[in-house]
Structure 1
Amino acid sequence: MNDQDITAFWDRLSDVNAGFLGTQSGAARMVPMSHQLRDGDATIWFISARDTDLAEAAEQGSTAATYVVGEGSEGLYAVIEGKLIQNNDPALRDELWSTVADSWFEGGKDDPKVCILGLVPQTAEVWLTPKSGLSFAFNIAKAQLTGEHPDMGSHGAESAADLERLRKSA
């Protein structure tokens, strides 16, 4: 993938609401999670509860995790692998807090069960496809007429250094 594709990955990921997060060891099963991104930060953030498998795994120290995202309307499919960390900084919690999160915790953002998890990407395998259904249909029709394979976007695997460099420059 080129720099433009990696930038498109971060842009599209910011428009997607959720994916599946789990540890690679199986200590925490894959669960649907809503993520948040911060400008200039390659970490993918999650608000969770302390008594979940994910939070308990992260509490033991950084643990290998996988985040899977698939969103056809955004043309983004990705498997992001990295280290799951826990961050108890109240300022970060305040920054990430939302009305959706507030509905899950009786004590609001000060509820002792609130836990902030972060996935620090190490690699990502990404597929970027056309966002428009019309573009998809056109590519299929063109392929049928020309006998060529349809242009279905780009695909590549990226390292943490490339993901972070391009995220910080955004």
Structure 2
Amino acid sequence: MTDHDDHVEKFWSRLGGINSGMLGLTEDARLVPMSHYADAEAGRLWFITAKGTDLARILAAGGKDAVHVVADEGKGLFARIHGALSLSDDRAKLDELWNAVASSWFEDGKQDEDVQLLRFDLADAEVWVTGGSLSFLYQMAKAKITGDKPDMGEHFSLGF
């Protein structure tokens, strides 16, 4: 396995275990919390939102460059992900992704007229992978005892 393949595998396996991050358009500094659904095979993330949100209203005019920021110390993943965000009317994908969390936001479930699926096609990501919170504590203690710098994991960039 090449370093690139190893990095891709680490990114997707850890991202799949994280439920949310901060999503926004690159032209606007405002990011909002959103739950994502990882689709590693397609190289994209999916989001379920409401048509009435600022983000969905802006995207109604066409797709935009976007950023999704994920930070989860427990899973050992910190990432800034760039790509193209657009509206999607893919009912099969909505059926696949629909769950109790999503249904709690919409009175009429996935049939609610306000449900909007967002498709985020990844372009690139800057990624930091660590051993997680227990590893962090170990590395800090080890550094204090040995005087060595702590091993804080890997930092790499990915293109999709």
Q: TM-score normalised to the size of structure 2?
A: 0.91
User: Per-residue deviation at 1:132?
Assistant: 4.4
Partner of 1:165: none
Letter in 1 for 2:10: A
Letter in 1 for 2:12: W
Q: Deviations over 1:78-113 (max 9, x none)?
A: 100111011102111111111111111111101111
Decide whether the 8 Å contact of 1:45 with 1:118 is kept in 2.
yes
4+ long deviations beyond 3 Å: 144-147
Q: TM-score normalised to the size of structure 1?
A: 0.86
**Identity of matched residues, %:** 44
Partner of 1:167: none
2:148 aligns to what SS in structure 1? Answer: coil
User: Per-residue deviation at 1:148?
Assistant: 2.8
Q: Distance in 2 between matches of 1:112 and 1:145?
A: 60
Q: Going by fraction, where is helix more abundant, 1 or 2?
A: 1
Letter in 2 for 1:117: L
User: Per-residue deviation at 1:137?
Assistant: 2.5
Q: Distance in 1 between matches of 2:45 and 2:113?
A: 22
Q: Distance in 2 between matches of 1:142 and 1:106?
A: 52
User: Per-residue deviation at 1:53?
Assistant: 1.3
Question: Where does the alignment leave 5 or more consecutive residues of structure 1 unmatched?
Answer: 161-170
Decide whether the 8 Å contact of 1:22 with 1:65 is kept in 2.
yes
Q: Deviations over 1:10-46 (max 9, x none)?
A: 11111111100011111x8311000112351211000
Question: Where does the alignment leave 5 or more consecutive residues of structure 2 unmatched?
Answer: none
Matched, 1:141 2:138: no
> Which residues of 2 match residues 102-113 of structure 1 at below 5 A?
102-113=103-114
Number of aligned residue pairs: 158
Decide whether the 8 Å contact of 1:47 with 1:116 is kept in 2.
yes
RCO greater where, 1 or 2, for CA within 8 Å and sep 6 or more? 1
User: Per-residue deviation at 1:143?
Assistant: 2.6
Matched, 1:123 2:124: yes
1:60 aligns to what SS in structure 2? Answer: coil
